[in-house]
Amino acid sequence: MTSPYTRGDSFSGGASREHIKRALVEYGATDVLFSQRENRSAIAFKGDGRQFRIVVPLPQSDGTTVIPRDTAEGPIREAKAKVLERANRRFWHALALSIDAKLAAVGAGVATLELEFLAHVVLPGNRTVIDELEPVIASAYRSGRQPSFD
C-alpha cells in the first residue's frame, strides 16, 4: 500500500512545478519557462550551452458524457474534477521526481545534462531530438532495417 505522499497526492501541481523550476535553477539552468497549450505542457530551459524543451501530455478526463437533466450531473462533474486534479498532482509529482533523478545523476558525474535530457535537446529549426528521431525509429522497426543517419 502506498501513502498519499508516495503517490504524489499531497503536492499540488503548482508546488511540483515550482520544485522543478527550483531544482533546475539550483543546477544552473537559466530561462526556465513553463507553458501549456490544450492538453500538453512544456518546460523549457537552457543549460550547459544547450536549449531543452520537455513536452508532456497532461492527464485528461475519461471523456464520458453526462446525460442532460441528470440530477446527479453536479456531483458527477465534481467527482470527475477531483479525480482529474488528483491525476494531475500525481503526474507533476512524478515528473518532478524524474527530473530530480536526472539532475542527481548529472551532479554525481554519472551522466551529462545532455545525455540525461538528450531527447529534449532543441535542435536548429526548433525541433527536439525526439521529434526528429521518432519517425526514424518507427520506420526502422516497421522495416526491420537499421536506419541511416547520414
Question: Mean pLDDT in the chain?
Answer: 87
**For the residues 130-138, what does the mean pLDDT come to?**
95
Q: Is 110 left (phi over 0), alpha (psi -120 to 50) or beta?
A: alpha
For CA atoms 88, 93, 98, 102, the dihedral sign is positive
> Which segments of the chain does DSSP mark as H helices, in order?
4-7, 13-27, 73-107, 113-116, 129-143
In the chain, what are the domain boundaries?
A: 4-123
Q: How confident is the model at residue 78 (pLDDT cuts 50, 70, 90)?
A: confident
- CA distances to 58, 65, 84 from 6, rounded to whole Å, are 20, 32, 18
Tell which wins on pLDDT, 88 or 6.
Answer: 88
What does the pLDDT read at residue 73? 64
For residues 12 and 139, what is the distance between their CA atoms, to the nearest angstrom? 39
**For the residues 67-84, what does the mean pLDDT come to?**
70
Q: How confident is the model at residue 62 (pLDDT cuts 50, 70, 90)?
A: low
Tell which wins on pLDDT, 87 or 118.
Answer: 118
pLDDT tens digits for range 28-55: 999 999 999 999 999 999 999 999 999 9
Res. 71: pLDDT tops 60: no
Res. 19: pLDDT tops 80: yes
- Cell 512544456, residue? 42
